[in-house]
Structure 1
């Protein structure tokens, strides 16, 4: 079951009860958000929206305008996303604060996140499918989780799409990126064969983020796998060999710029 913590935004813009309506207006202009949790001593004590500060003095304190915690609808990191979606549908709220058992804010989930959770395949399902495939080929498999250096990835996909790349860059900035899936064998030495997560990896590479969380499938073999041999035949040695394309505008200057940035990165 997909949980809130898998899709919530972990980096949240917040205000304090001592902030003023004018300061919230400035924050709205800066972030383009219209709602902010109100925090005091790391605890969630309320929420303030653009509607609460409409037609009030800019000097008015947020503590006098906010909806207080006891009147709020919140959710938990382990809550099913499906249940959160039903709450949003019934109440009309577009976002809910996510708090832990100590009432500390750990994230925020929006209706867009809920929709995204329903249209994306979850990484665990992909992981299990890949593991079963190699087990059926007779390999002994072990799955670990770890942090993988981006410059140690060997891609197996020759192209990615610009629109999805932009989405993955946004997810990285917001702390939403799911783990990638890689394969490690004795033959790969210090490299990792990238199986799933090419858009995330390239977005990470272009953003100068050195590492990504990963599921590491350890395959007990001294030989190169077929997928690695195929990638090498395509000239795929590192992430800079992956081309960024647009399905409708292959000659777009913006796509050229993306490829140029990728080529000269680092």
Structure 2
């Protein structure tokens, strides 16, 4: 019996509570510039939420205290908080909000308005990278039908990481860090894998797979495109020509993909 697709549609909605930072260093609204300087020196941060009775009322950053006296109160210097989010808001909605208003951080509050965490633009980016959509899976299945005359079946299950054959020769260290975080939190998107005979060919999700391999994770969830054919795919030939036999053969680039021009 041919598998149906209800498990593919929809992908679970990603929520703020899955990505926000909850252990946030904050300051009371009654503190002074001296207190801000002390936190900047003793932490890796240059900005902090300002609270009053447990509710966030502002954000204070190093730029806000330039030319201020150490004894000055931070209340008139802080940036008032206008936008907030809550733990159950979708990350896509938060991304739109942050882009529209050009903000880098949003305080997260509970139903009573109490401050519970921070969500940043880096969290938003991490939640969106390498997303697997139904269209991506179905488009690849259509490609197989068109190029090879195949009629693949679709299922969803766990695959052994060590058995995956990569089709991408390079991944990037900065993205591996994000994928490792998602795997630890149970937030990783499924891979897209072609299963042909005894081969498991990785089509999409190389950063997730390499991160899992480095972490010695045994299995990952995947959309399995099952092919009952001896036909070797073009992507398999390419992989063989690049001498990619396992995830250990994928090169990890410890550099930014961005090029900056002077």
| Alignment match of 2:144 (pick from 115, 134, 140) | 134
Paired residues, what number? 223
- 1:160 equivalenced with 2:167 (yes/no): no
Which residue in 1 is equivalent to 2:61?
Answer: 50
Write the distance in 1 (CA, Å) between the matches of 2:19 and 2:37: 20
Write the distance in 2 (CA, Å) between the matches of 1:11 and 1:224: 48
1:95-174 → structure 2 map (5 Å cutoff):
95-98=105-108, 105=116, 108-110=119-121, 122-124=131-133, 125-136=135-146, 137-144=149-156, 149-157=160-168, 159-160=169-170, 165-172=172-179
| Secondary structure of the structure 2 residue equivalent to 1:86 | helix
Deviation at 1:218, TM superposition (A): 3.1
- Cα pair distance change 1:239/1:10, threshold 3 Å: farther
Which residue in 2 is equivalent to 1:261?
Answer: none
- Cα pair distance change 1:202/1:140, threshold 3 Å: closer
Write the distance in 2 (CA, Å) between the matches of 1:10 and 1:170: 16
| Secondary structure of the structure 2 residue equivalent to 1:126 | helix
Unpaired runs of 5+ residues, structure 2, are 1-12, 256-262
Which residue in 2 is equivalent to 1:77?
Answer: 90
Write the distance in 2 (CA, Å) between the matches of 1:153 and 1:24: 50
Deviation at 1:195, TM superposition (A): 1.0
| Alignment match of 1:198 (pick from 206, 219, 225) | 206
Deviation at 1:238, TM superposition (A): 1.2
Larger of the two Rg values belongs to structure: 2
Which residue in 2 is equivalent to 1:240?
Answer: 248
1:51-95 Cα distance to aligned partner (Å, 9 max, x none): 5777556xx9x99x9888xx541133255323431122xxxx322
Q: Give RMSD over aligned pairs.
A: 4.9
Deviation at 1:211, TM superposition (A): 6.1
